[in-house]
Structure 1
Amino acid sequence: MTKETLLMQYQSECLSALKSVANIHKPFEKAFMDTMKLFMAIPDRINFLQLGRYGCFSEQTYRNLFEYETFDWFAFNSSIISKHLTGKRKAIAIDPSYIPKSGKKTPWIGYFWSGCAGEYKRGLEIMGIGVIAIDNHECMTLGSIQTPDCKTLDNIDKNLVDWYSSYLISRKDKLQSLSRTVVADAFFSRETFITPMCENDFHVISRFRNDVILYYPTLEQKTGKRGHSKWFDGRIDFANLDLTRCKEYEVNKEKLYGLRVYAKALKRYVSLAIWYPMGGRTDKWQLYFSTDDSMDGREVLDYYRTRFQLEFCFRDGKQHAGITNCQGADFRKLDFHFNASLAAVNLAKAA
């Protein structure tokens, strides 16, 4: 297949997805289609100067386009996802990503964690929201939102975890139409995130720290006497697991066990998957959980492993779609650039 044929197919997918977004006028459609084509075609940095150089419109036209803050990226990407992301088991994956950026006038610039560098660095951060297909190990992004800096969070009297959960809850109608399961890394395995999400009909799959305090559920029967019966039995020692309470699964040469446990930090029962890698050695373990305490242990592990596909969307956006090249210094232009870059990766996968 030639480059010209691939580009035509890419533009066809883009136009089809654009038709699903309401209230789009013709001038916007022309500029938007040209912009999305350039996100894949420009071989160097993707910024307003380059768009004006390679595109069909002036640099100012692209600057004006990026100020269009009412564009529904969730609807645009949902159209692509519904056509190309197959499989019955799907979930919402979330993950923050560091974006290098400088400038005194850049909004919400601050120090954020860079996983690649292993340290806090000055720049921006976005929270990417994607849909993962568990059976096919694929992911496409729904959209992204810029993370506030510390000063802004202090002004609204929230911490970072509260802000993440409140944003997801604000978009729950759209998200729950795709899946009620949210998969996130170990940073989100805390009560202040889990409780509000579960109160809004989400289930969360994440990972515990290895020193987490968990208890076996009680085996005592109700006696009929006054007072509540025991909530749970003894604390779980993962180096000496009680195998009579666990269900064992075959996973290559490793060992995987599943059971229902009480998590002290989360104040709830969860479904736990205990994975012993490195040939099944019992001195090393990894703990994955789901707030849906009826979920199978193998399924918990499958969902969490597939979460990493969202990282590949960020990687492709940074390497090939210029997500770090935005020249804008206001919220609208930054938001449009981040979402356009991730949408270009979706379209490339669909084409």
Structure 2
Amino acid sequence: MTIKANQNVKQLIINILKTEVFSSLNKARKDFIFSVLWHILSIKGRINFLQLGRFSSYGEQTFRNQFEKEFDFFSFNGHLIKQCVPGERIVVFDPSYIPKAGKSTYGMGRYWSGVAKSAKWGLEICGFAVVDIANNTALHLNAWQTPSADELKKRRLNLLAYYASLVTENAADFKGFSDYIVADAYFSKKPFVDAITSSGLHFLSRLRDDSVLMYKYKGGPTGKKGAPKKFNGRVDPQNPDLNYFTTDLINEDIAIYSAVVYSKAFKRDIKLAIAIFFKDGKEIARKLYFSTDINQTGEKIVSNYRSRFQIEFLYRDAKQFTGLSTCQARSKNKLDFHFNAALTAVNLAKHDWISTETHSTKPFSMANYKTLYNNTLMLERFMCMFAINPYSAKNQKIVKELLDYGKIAA
């Protein structure tokens, strides 16, 4: 017996697997994908082969074998995103540190941990997500595991070049969601910016406070010998020249000024947005944001960059609730499957949230959805074993109460 509460997410998985992209998969493989995504969503505690084997009809060894096979999570999540995010979207990129012990696992090395503010031993994934601007939430698109330093050396790549290669190799697919790639200030470097723009995408990020930026000269010929004058002095972010800058937004919390300027580091024109943040009428911070699209407004640049942080919440939910950092595997294929399955499970819960009428007033809570799906899993088991009809008039109210048991109060 199936309880109606989980029909949205279950039917969503089935419908996506019925699309032409997955026509080559046999029924056994589709059934497994359905099972693993549903159980990642509904099992509380660690998500690993042992746990999955305990709660599902498949054995532990089946999960180990099936995780080794490739699955197109990029297309799966792409279908899901296009269904629930019809409006404005941006593609966000951010690496994430995954703790892991040992030395024999693929990709082991020292990677930067933003939480620890230091490099730590473990793994790293390079995650791409699509941010739904209207609902201000990120949905996972795909993640690639970062190779070890030795492997990158064999490929004659540094870490930044590897990150850039992921964008250029998948640029055509990213353009199906947005023309804009957003990443944090670490990626504001010429090789990375050049790689993205050469692939037909625009790049948004934040600049260093001491970046060398030049005003574009707007006057006529000076009459002096030599090359025509190109620049008219250096931009001082503390005292922007309002003859060049336009005022995009001013309120009690923020003021945004924008202008097309020349970046010495990037050796190109960029659209610069200076954002000044206020608290209690006093300035508390001043940040420089930019876009390679010189026609984009400063307000849009700042709002899109600030939406980038939604990918951090995506990683947080996956680590806390869907086992992103609890994989038992050591091989490349199994790790890739596990990382993407964990993040995709969060997508399924978010799709369920977006499809509800109250999503605009009720914030997304992965903890509540985890509790709901866990309760559903247990109730389905009890009702199947005891032959109870959940749809009878007498049981419907009781079932609803049990499904909400343990949820965080709104």
Q: Shared fold (TM-score greater than 0.5)? A: yes
3-state SS, counterpart of residue 289 of structure 1: strand
Aligned residue in 1 for 2:292? 291
Q: CA deviation at 1:204?
A: 0.1
Q: Structure 2 length as normaliser, TM-score?
A: 0.81
Task: Assess if the C-alpha contact under 8 Å between 1:111 and 1:124 holds in 2.
Answer: yes
**TM-score after normalising by structure 1:** 0.94
Tell me the equivalent position of 1:119.
118
The corresponding residue for 1:277 is 277
> After alignment, is 195-204 or 146-155 more displaced?
146-155
Partners of 2:259 and 2:111 in 1: CA distance: 36
**1:283, CA displacement in angstroms?**
8.2
Distance 1:229 1:330, change over 3 A: same
Q: Partners of 1:216 and 1:257 in 2: how far apart?
A: 14
1:44 aligns with 2:79: no
Q: CA contact under 8 A between 1:17 and 1:77: conserved in structure 2? A: no
Give the secondary structure class of the aligned counterpart of 1:158. coil
Match runs of 1:323-338 below 5 Å: 323-338=324-339
Q: Residue 137 of structure 1: CA displacement?
A: 1.3
Cα distance between partner residues in 2 of 1:308 and 1:66: 30
State the partner residue of 1:255.
255
Aligned partner of 1:142 in structure 2 is 141
Residue 68 of structure 2 aligns to a residue whose secondary structure is coil
Q: 2:93 is matched with which residue? A: 94
What displacement does 1:250 show? 2.7
In structure 2, the CA distance between the partners of 1:284 and 1:31, relative to structure 1 (3 Å rule), is closer
Q: Deviations over 1:186-239 (max 9, x none)?
A: 011000100121111110000001111111111222479986422221011112
- Partners of 2:196 and 2:248 lie apart in 1 by 29
The equivalent residue for 1:186 is 185
Answer yes or no: is 1:234 the counterpart of 2:233.
yes
State yes or no: 1:83 paired with 2:83. yes
Unaligned ranges ≥5, structure 2: 353-410
Following superposition, the deviation at residue 179 of structure 1 comes to 1.4
Q: Percent identity?
A: 39
Distance 1:231 1:154 in 2: 41
- Counterpart of 2:113, as a letter, is S
1:264 aligns with 2:270: no
Comparing 226-235 with 290-299, which one deviates more in the overlay?
A: 226-235
Is the 1:273–1:300 contact (alpha carbons within 8 Å) kept by the matching residues of 2?
yes
Residues in 2 aligned to 1:144 and 1:38: alpha-carbon distance in whole angstroms? 20
* Corresponding position of 1:195: 194
State the shift of 1:145 in Å: 0.4
Report whether the alignment pairs 1:158 with 2:177.
no
**1:133-171 deviation line (CA, Å, top 9, x unaligned):** 223312211110001222222221111111011111111
1: CA distance between counterparts of 2:142 and 2:30? 19
Contact 2:98 2:325 in 1 (8 A): yes
**Aligned partners of 2:177 and 2:132: how far apart in 1?**
11
- Aligned residue identity for 1:339: N
| Residues 1:348 and 1:282: Cα distance change in structure 2 (over 3 Å) | closer
Contact kept in structure 1, 2:324 and 2:342, CA below 8 Å: yes
8 A contact 1:47–1:326 mirrored in 2: yes
CA distance in 2, matches of 1:173, 1:219: 36
Return closer, same or farther for 1:127/1:236 CA change in 2, 3 Å cut-off: same
Query: C-alpha distance in 2, partners of 1:227/1:135?
Result: 51
Aligned-partner residue type, residue 113 of structure 1? W
Corresponding residue number in structure 2 for 1:14 = 13
* 1:236-295 alpha-carbon deviations (Å, 9 max, x no partner): 111222122111133432221111111100000000110111357678410000001111
Residue 363 of structure 2 is matched in structure 1 by none
Instruction: Say whether the 8 Å CA contact 1:128–1:143 is kept in structure 2.
Output: yes
RMSD (Å), alpha carbons: 1.8
> Is residue 238–residue 282 contact of structure 1 (8 Å, CA) maintained in 2?
no
* Inter-partner Cα distance in structure 1 for 2:79 and 2:126: 21
Larger displacement relative to structure 2 (123-132 or 225-234): 225-234
Contact 1:326 1:334 in 2 (8 A): yes
* Residue pair 2:81, 2:139 contacting (<8 A) in 1 also: yes
Computing the radius of gyration from Cα coordinates, the structure with the larger value is: 2
2 CA distance for matches of 1:134 and 1:232?
Answer: 36
> How many aligned positions are there?
347
What residue is the counterpart of 2:72 in the other structure?
72
CA displacement 1:103-131 (0-9 Å, x = unmatched): 22101111111111111111101011011
> For residues 311 and 6 of structure 1, do their structure 2 counterparts lie closer, same or farther at Cα, with a shift above 3 Å needed?
farther
Asked if 2 retains the 8 angstrom alpha-carbon contact of 1:258 and 1:297, the reply is yes
Task: Show structure 1 runs of 5+ residues with no match.
Answer: none
Q: 2 CA distance for matches of 1:6 and 1:298?
A: 40
Q: Name the residue aligned to 2:215.
A: 216
> How far does residue 101 in structure 1 lie from its aligned partner after superposition?
0.6
